[in-house]
Structure 1
Amino acid sequence: MINVRAPAVAGLFYPADRETLATDVGRFIANAPVPQTLEPKALIAPHAGYVYSGQVAANAYIAWQSQKDKIERIVLIGPSHRISLHGIAVPTVDAFKTPLGEVAIDREAIAAITDLPQIVIDDEPHRQEHSLEVHLPFLQKVLGDFKLLPLVVGAVSSEQVAEVIERLWGSDSTRFLISTDLSHFKDYKNAQKIDRETAQSIESMNPAMLSPEKACGCIPVAGMLIAARKYGLSVERLDLRNSGDTAGNKERVVGYGSWAACKKDYQSNSLRLEDDWGLLNREGGRLIRIAAQTVAYSIKNGHPPAVDIASFPPELQENRATFVTLNKNGNLRGCIGTVQACKPLIADVVENAYKAAMKDPRFAPIKIEESSALEISISLLSPFEKMSFSDEADFLHQLRPQVDGLIISDQGKRSVFLPQVWESLPEKTEFVGQLKQKAGMPYDYWSATIETWRFTAISVKSSTKYKSTTKLDQCKSE
């Protein structure tokens, strides 16, 4: 007779009834946008109740659906919530059970790591732990038959987690699933800010910036990032939301995100952020200073300063599209940007800073006495990716909330929303409807000739802190 871990949170975090659970999981998977180019070695996904984070998690699992015939082993790693644990716990049981059936434990994989000093053999950390269990019904639905190595992580270093991952790395038949939620019990706006910072740390593969306050699974995530860097992977965001966007109120929310760690060859060049984050880490301060100097010069002289492009580093000489946003006391004071990369990055920033200060048609030119109170933000846009879809439902299915910036065009009308607009318009239909209206189309407009492009955008801002009251994307594009 085999020894089986019984489900601990069925009926609490997800339905205990087999048919209801199968229906719910199937619906989440059906609603997940299918990535076109990803073959993730590892996924990061949340572990809250399905009503709160089920869709965010499904948006990760869907990336494995087309590869289910390749995948034989899942190494599932999550933080300990229930007991104090020193080490990384592996179970002695033969299987983990959910209402959808049993999943066999990979004893061969356990044997491969038991000599490591951080590994402890102990069923107790697993008995009531939800951070692993909630993933199993999704994995059963997406993959069918597979073997499981569940690891509960306690008081260890991220390097020790990375050592375990590297020992188990293996072939394409082995994949890793890292379990974590993000910020806990902040108000909606503060949670968004903290979770964006965490997302940037994950996507720039900077494990040192993670902490328990930002992600309960920070140690497992950091361990994966260390291993992923060693093996030449990079990380792409699949979703980022919080419970205020899904099923909870906005006074005390929990953050959720999902990511895929892939070989760089598999990533869409147009949506890769790692290089741009590196650029802003190196040159963001210089770009902000130049934008501020441009604003001051333009106020005094009425035109932008000349730019000696050749005097700047090569990466600032490359043609890029940017937006420059000026805020004063939390209110928009000017925003101008370009959506086509047609001039060197440094020149584009200078021109957009000048126009944001002096030529935004919605505002009077900025006066010298205002300049010291301005906060400057520069957004760097990725190249565009034209979207292909069969109808509006297919288009909405592919759109990624909190990730995609969007350009929409038809019949000579065109408009753009930056990804930051998802903060004010988190629902897909509202986001797209408002963008149509911005372009001069009806809210519910659709035609067979409509064209859309998506892109990502990352930003750097000056150190002045403010609380934005902007409800819609208010930037003008050139």
Structure 2
Amino acid sequence: MMRFTNNGVENRFPGADRTLPEHAAIRPAAVAGAFYPADAHELRSLIDEQLDYARGLLHDTGFAHRLPAGAPKAVIVPHAGYVYSGTTAALAYALLERGRGTIHRAVIIGPTHRVPVRGIACPTASAFATPLGTVPVDHDAEQQALATVPSLSINDATHAREHAVEVQIPFLQRVLGDNLTIVAMNAGDASPREVGDVIRALWGGPETVIVISSDLSHYHPHYEGRELDDETIQRIATRDLPIRPNRACGAYPVNGLLDACLRKGLPVRFLGCATSGDDGDVALAAADGVHADRPAMAEPDTPVVGYASFAVWEDATSETGTSSDTDNDAADIATNTVISDQQHSNDSDNSSLPADAGTILINLARTALARYLGVNDPSEPTAADIVAAHAWLHQPGASFVTLREHGNLRGCIGTIEAYRPLGRDVAEHAVDAAVRDPRFMPVDADEFAQLNIEVSVLSKPEPMRVGSRAALEHALRPGVDGLIIDDWHGHRATFLPQVWQELPNSHDFVAHLLRKAGLSPRYDWQDGSVECSRYTVHAFEEQS
């Protein structure tokens, strides 16, 4: 007999405790004095020293200018002793302190090193204690997730001596302040979708940050550990599921975040890395976003543990977003327009695209998708060959790929801000649009020949200095501007410029985008509370 929760989803975790007690104890610090100092003053000083190191690294090198403004929505940070991995973790936390005063809840997910679990487990504790004070658990959010996500259960034993979540809390206390609550979870044997469901249930708005706790390889010779970690870093940064536990002890939590990012169309940005043999020296991510220029190894044969930090911002979103069923019509409008080699811009920063860019980009997208579906011709150039033959595809670029079948939308996914080479962005979005658009079943090989592909290359978003809806509608350029709106309370959406074909009136254009973002089409503002940005595109479509 199958067991179902109240939301109709099969319960694959029968017998798991899913009800929190009315009264619960404070979970004491289990690894203070081992992984980090037990003395509050000493702990505070160590964290501040490591944060200062990270701030200097980020700003003195200019690395911070390559990153989006504002605090990350999610981070991946290591969890070893602070003397080993604290400086690597501090890279992410130095960026997270931008959210001080806004972020009030941290959802922390770590692995299980001592007591294994199936699925994801939270404790009954009402708070977690550290030498810096006691941090309350957000039981309301926890209970809501327990009621809706079958893979989440309650298990105190797995949390009792586990360090992966605990070591993140003092950093969070220091960078976010006293007005902080947490949701603490350990992820054991679980699929990316199961952990991703928990993350989506607790995603929240700007008040919430997702913290994933994971180290990388363990106890390989230094030279070998770096090689293994470099491969894992590249896979995480490219959202290449799944990461295996032998490559990252927090693979299950990491995979859950990657699943969430893929479904939301959010890029994962590599910040920097180190090993336990690097004496706290962190190598920053290179310009390609997947490699780092590491320092020389003092003892290449000494066993080490690997560390890396990553961050996710919500400024690069999927065109499909997280819209509800009632918003799907608007999402369809946003992508169901035929444009052929047309530039929606008078001043796009993509004006340097060559005259044959459309032919090359379409061929690249189709070649990448053919290989993924197993219908490629081995004698034809690969996607990598196409990229290698065109230097402009190595430059950073942001794109959307739209698929249609017999004139009907079949998938559309992209990013708003350039963070990786354009060629790679287009190739990966071609696959993402085919198999990761949550509105559709994955495309299969039999459909490949029937697909029509459109590639849109976006300019850099430009903030619009408009304080009201009326001012926004007056400033928009019909037929030219793509628009992003964000109220910083979890309502964010974009329309490509192609939407003007269906909605030529500025008021209607904004109304439909508000609805897509989960707001009323009649929503109005006069106080600048909705942040607006515009961008332009070059759009290229296959000719049938």
- Aligned counterpart for 2:220 among listed residues 186, 189, 207: 186
TM-score by length of 1: 0.56
CA distance in structure 2 between the aligned counterparts of 1:61 and 1:233, rounded to whole angstroms: 19
Q: In structure 1, what is the Cα distance between the partners aligned to 2:119 and 2:24?
A: 26
Give the alignment of 1:112-123 within 5 angstroms. 112-115=144-147, 116-123=149-156
> Is the 2:266–2:316 contact (alpha carbons within 8 Å) kept by the matching residues of 1?
no
CA distance in 2, matches of 1:49, 1:66: 25
* Equivalent residues in 2 for 1:5-404, closer than 5 Å: 5-33=27-55, 34=58, 35-36=64-65, 37-38=68-69, 39-115=71-147, 116-144=149-177, 145-208=179-242, 210-246=243-279, 250=300, 251-265=302-316, 313=386, 316-319=389-392
Contact 1:234/1:261 (CA < 8 Å) preserved in 2?
yes
Deviations 1:122-158 (A, max 9, x none): 2111110000011111000000121100001112212
Residue type at the aligned position of 2:158: P
Residue identity opposite 1:148 in structure 2:
I
Given the alignment of the two structures, is residue 4 of structure 1 paired with residue 55 of structure 2, yes or no?
no
**Residue 160 of structure 1: CA displacement?**
0.3
For residues 320 and 233 of structure 1, the distance between their equivalents in structure 2, rounded to whole angstroms, comes to 21
For each residue in 1:32-72, what CA deviation from the matched residue of structure 2 results, as whole angstroms up to 9, or x when unmatched?
13434343110000000011000000011111111111101
- Greater alpha carbon shift after TM alignment, 106-115 vs 30-39: 30-39
- Whether the 8 Å contact between 1:232 and 1:264 is mirrored in structure 2 is no
What CA distance in whole angstroms lies between the structure 2 residues aligned with 1:132 and 1:316?
A: 46
* 1:205-264 residue CA offsets vs partner (Å, 9 max, x unmatched): 1122x1111000111101101101211210111111111112696510000000001234
Give me the identity figure in percent. 38
Amino acid at match of 2:221: D
1:200 Cα deviation (Å)?
A: 0.6
Query: Using the alignment, how far apart are the partners of 1:93 and 1:118 within structure 2?
Result: 19
- The residue type equivalent to 2:31 in the other structure is V
Q: Which residue identity does 2:159 align to in structure 1?
A: H
Residue in structure 1 matched with residue 17 of structure 2 by the alignment: none
State the AA in 1 paired with 2:305. Answer: V
Q: In structure 2, how many angstroms separate the alpha carbons of the residues matched to 1:137 and 1:151?
A: 16
SS, match of residue 31 in structure 1: helix
Letter in 2 for 1:53: S
1:138 corresponds to which letter in structure 2? F
Query: What CA deviation, in whole Å up to 9, does each residue of 1:416-469 have, x standing for no partner?
Result: xxxxxxxxxxxxxxxxxxxxxxxxxxxxxxxxxxxxxxxxxxxxxxxxxxxxxx
Query: 1:265/1:160 Cα in 2 relative to 1: closer, same or farther (>3 Å)?
Result: closer
Q: Distance in 2 between matches of 1:183 and 1:138?
A: 23
Partner deviation per Cα, 1:303-325 (whole Å, 9 max, x = no partner): xxxxxxxxx84784343679xxx
**In 1: Cα distance, 2:98 partner to 2:303 partner:** 37
321 and 75 in structure 1: CA distance in 2 versus 1, 3 angstrom threshold:
closer
> Which amino acid is 2:99 matched to?
Q
Quote the Cα distance in structure 2 between the aligned partners of 1:216 and 1:81: 8
Deviations 1:163-190 (A, max 9, x none): 1111111211111000000000001111
**Structure 2 regions of 5+ residues with no counterpart?**
1-22, 59-63, 281-297, 318-348, 350-360, 372-384, 396-422, 424-544
Q: Is the 8 A contact 2:110 2:212 kept in 1?
A: yes
Shift of residue 114, structure 1, vs aligned partner: 1.0
Alignment RMSD, CA only? 3.0
Q: What is the rounded CA distance, in whole Å, between the counterparts of 2:266 and 2:303 in structure 1?
A: 35
Q: Secondary structure of 1:129's match?
A: coil
Q: C-alpha separation between the residues in 2 aligned to 1:106 and 1:321?
A: 45
SS in 2 for 1:113: helix
Question: How far is 1:117 from its partner?
Answer: 2.1
Question: For the residues of structure 1 that align with 2:393 and 2:238, how far apart are their CA atoms?
Answer: 20
Q: Across the two proteins, how many residue pairs are aligned to each other?
A: 288
Q: Secondary structure at the match of 2:125?
A: coil
| C-alpha contact (below 8 Å) 1:234/1:264 kept by paired residues | no
